[in-house]
Amino acid sequence: MFKEFLFWMHFTVGLAAVTIGFYASLPLVLFLVILHRVHLVVFDGCVITRVQQYLGHFPRQVDFLEIVWKRFLKKDLTYLQTKVLDYSLGAAPILIAAVRFYS
């Protein structure tokens, strides 16, 4: 039960982060994306992912994006695909906010 709660909370936070460009200003989106990247460096990954790994929900070498991809699409991601997806999801809100800002 708690495992499912953490999964859906993490998924919801990620979805909100990816779509923030639709409803926040460009400077705020840039700040939040930079803050997120700093948090990934400081904690050597996402804090929520680390909690899930600590609780044994998935192994340390597995990223949350891999879990989501496998759960919804029933396919595995390679390391390169995971990194491309990670940076794409980070760039998406910036691009969305930039289009909103300049149009």
* pLDDT value for 47: 94
Domain count, the chain: 1
* pLDDT value for 64: 94
Give the pLDDT mean for 45-67. 93
Q: What is this structure's pTM?
A: 0.90
Report how far residue 54's alpha carbon sits from residue 60's, in angstroms, rounded to the nearest whole number.
8
Give the pLDDT mean for 4-8. 96
Owning domain of residue 71: 2-102
Is residue 103 very low, low, confident or very high in pLDDT (cuts 50, 70, 90)?
A: confident
Give the pLDDT mean for 41-54. 94
Residues with Cβ within 8 Å of residue 80, at least 6 apart in sequence: none
Report how far residue 38's alpha carbon sits from residue 44's, in angstroms, rounded to the nearest whole number.
10
Quote the percentage of the chain above a pLDDT of 70: 100
Sign of the C-alpha dihedral, residues 53, 56, 58, 59? Answer: positive
Q: Which of these, 90, 85, 95, 100, lies nearest to 41 by C-alpha position?
A: 90
